[in-house]
Amino acid sequence: YLIVFGIPSIDIEARRRRRDLQRTTCWQFPGVARRANNFNGAMLVLYVLARHPSHGYNHSAALLEETDEYHDVVTLRTSDALPTTNKTVGTVGPWGTEAGISISRKVYLWFDLALRVFPNVAYIAKGDDDMFLRVPQFLADLLTLPRRRVYWGMPLGWSVRKRSINYRFRYAAGMCYTLSRDVAQQFVSYKPLQRLVEMPYSKMREPKFLSLNMQDDDMMVGRVLRVEQRHHHSIFVVAAPCSFHDILNDTGHYSVTWRSVVIHHLREDDYGKLMERFGNDTTHSSRLEMVRGRGYIQFVC
């Protein structure tokens, strides 16, 4: 495969519906490897799950049936935590500190697993189950990028203070970001993060987890790559805001255009509507201008 795409999800009915909505819409695009085509394609999509407290920390019967039907689920040696906020699927905001840390652990374990199971894959990605991906255009854009040093996604900003120095860094929003294989290896090799991933959560240990921003998995990845490992010089590939975006803009208006590639924060009825609009998409060439600078590449609308 050119790329393996991991989507952390949860063993509950609301998230199972989201997985099925993706399977019946955007994972039907050409280029996606799935059971129906004997897993032939440039991009393999896998759902990354853990044991959930609502099932007594066991896998549900429904998940076992789902796995048997689609063969696209991997389960990790960890467990989920219940959210402590009012956030729901498809909306903006945090799930709570412990839940955020459990997601960060899954993300780390996903990259670690993908590197070991797919020794020849060029790129490893992480996405969300409440997004729609125009796969042909995504793959066309991916083919324009280098095979090394790549960290591609929609940029967000944050700053941290270390040893009396403020470091401002960019990190990629978690709806969809891609690491080249060497950058993924660099990320999982960071020893302090390895130790935290193996450490059970407790309130007393919370400051240790927060020291690497593990309450927010997207920020954690960016923190490690752009601050803790800044001397490795990964290239931040800036996704164009007209291509990676929420389905609604800041004023609540529909923001999807022909330039859209990754569309986030969907309602359940949005997947089918987007497939009706883009389902005949067979584009295989990058359509956006690229600007290159020192340490970055930027897609321009």
Q: How much is the pLDDT for 87? A: 59
Expressed as residue numbers, the domain containing 233 is 3-300
Q: Residues 6 or more apart from 197 whose CB is under 8 A from it?
A: 105, 108, 109
User: 8 Cβ partners below 8 Å, 6+ apart?
Assistant: 47, 48, 49, 103, 106, 107, 110, 126, 128, 217
Q: Which of 156, 146, 217 is nearest to 180 (CA)?
A: 146
DSSP-derived 3-state class of residue 133: strand
Q: CA-CA distance, 262 to 251, in Å (whole number)?
A: 19
Burial of 135 per CB tally in 10 Å (0-12, 13-18, 19+) = buried
Residue 10 contacts residue 76 (beta carbons within 8 Å): no
What is the bridge-based pairing of β-strands 176-180 and 289-293?
unpaired
Number of structural domains in the chain? 1
Q: How far apart are CA 289 and CA 240, in angstroms?
A: 10
The helix/strand/coil state of 38 is: coil
3-state DSSP call for residue 125?
A: strand
Alpha-carbon separation of residue 256 from 45, 54, 79, 132 (angstroms): 23, 36, 35, 11
DSSP β-bridge partners for residue 298:
238, 291
* pLDDT by residue, tens only, the chain of 301 residues: 999 999 999 999 999 999 999 999 999 999 999 999 999 999 999 999 998 887 888 889 999 999 999 999 999 988 776 665 555 665 565 567 878 898 999 999 999 999 999 999 999 999 999 999 999 999 999 999 999 999 999 999 988 888 788 888 999 999 999 999 999 999 999 999 999 999 988 888 899 999 999 999 999 999 999 999 988 889 999 999 999 999 998 888 899 999 999 999 999 999 999 999 999 987 677 777 889 888 889 999 8
Report the CATH number that the domain containing residue 118 is assigned in CATH. Answer: 3.90.550.50
